[in-house]
């Protein structure tokens, strides 16, 4: 299990307790959490519990990274439950290609680390930006279901996607050529 992955603009690394305030800035933002599986965090303690569970999770079940940009904690990306990928970034950084950069580095790492046939994703159909990003990375839709998540008092639907394990010759073209360093 790698402790960090560097990309051109990001440091992807293991979570630490001191990440609390940076993560809370993301997890408490209603816009950033709009399509997340829980409502925005209402307290620092709620984010602390979430962060502690991320730190304590067994490595065979989960492989998540904190996303740092210019020395600032700005989100997380990785498998919150293998093989399902998830990601979230501070909304100040949306549209800059940072989520794509993070995932393009994490995807080959996950396939190298885990003997999984595919990486999967469960996305709210209203989350057009995340759906477009995953499709650009080679994910394809495998299913759809209604009322799969109760977030607060709102039921949300799901689009299921998968990225099959590439053969070694196809990997670089499937995920944009990025590789962990």
The answer to whether 161 and 123 are in contact (CB under 8 A) is yes
Residue 179 inside a domain? The answer is no
Distances (CA, A) of 19 to 28, 44, 97, 111: 14, 12, 22, 27
Residue in 7, 3, 8 with CA at minimum distance from that of residue 180? 7
Domain count, the chain: 1
Does residue 39 belong to any structural domain of this protein? yes
Containing structural domain, residue 155: 4-173
Q: What is the pLDDT of residues 151-179, one digit of tens each?
A: 888 899 999 999 999 875 444 444 544 44
50, part of any domain: yes
- Could you tell me if residue 128 is inside a domain? yes
The reply to whether 181 falls in a domain is no
CA-CA distance, 16 to 8, in Å (whole number)? 22
Tell me if 178 is assigned to some domain.
no
Residue 13 has pLDDT above 70, yes or no: yes
The pTM of this model reads 0.88
Mean per-residue pLDDT, 131-139: 97
Question: What confidence tier does 114 reach under pLDDT thresholds 50, 70, 90?
Answer: very high
**What pLDDT shows up at residue 181?**
39
pLDDT at position 180, please? 41
What CATH number should be reported for the domain holding residue 168?
3.40.630.30
My answer on whether omega of the bond before 179 falls inside 30° of 0, hence cis, is no
Q: Confidence class of residue 61 from pLDDT cuts 50, 70 and 90?
A: confident
Mean pLDDT of the chain: 91
- Beta bridge partners, 77, equal 65, 87
Write out pLDDT tens, residues 64-107: 999 999 999 999 999 989 999 999 999 999 999 999 999 999 99
Instruction: Tell me whether residue 144 is in a domain.
Output: yes
How much is the average pLDDT of 6-32?
A: 97
Q: Is residue 22 one of the residues assigned to a domain?
A: yes
């Amino acid at each position: 299990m790698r402790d960090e992955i560097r990309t051109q603009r990001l440091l992807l690394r293991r979570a630490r307790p001191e990440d609390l305030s940076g993560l809370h800035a993301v997890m408490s933002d209603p816009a950033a959490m709009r399509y997340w599986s829980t409502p925005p965090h209402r307290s620092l303690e709620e984010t602390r519990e979430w962060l502690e569970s991320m730190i304590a999770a067994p490595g065979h079940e989960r492989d998540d990274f904190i996303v740092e940009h210019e020395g600032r904690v700005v989100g997380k990306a990785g498998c919150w439950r293998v093989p399902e990928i998830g990601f979230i970034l501070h909304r100040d950084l949306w549209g800059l290609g940072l989520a794509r950069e993070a995932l393009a580095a994490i995807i080959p790492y996950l396939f190298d680390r885990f003997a999984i046939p595919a990486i999967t994703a469960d996305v709210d159909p209203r989350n057009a930006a995340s759906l477009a990003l995953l499709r650009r990375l080679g994910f394809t839709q495998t299913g759809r279901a209604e009322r799969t998540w109760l977030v607060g008092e709102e039921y949300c639907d799901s689009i299921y996607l998968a990225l099959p394990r590439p053969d070694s010759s196809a990997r670089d073209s499937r995920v944009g050529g990025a590789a962990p360093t």
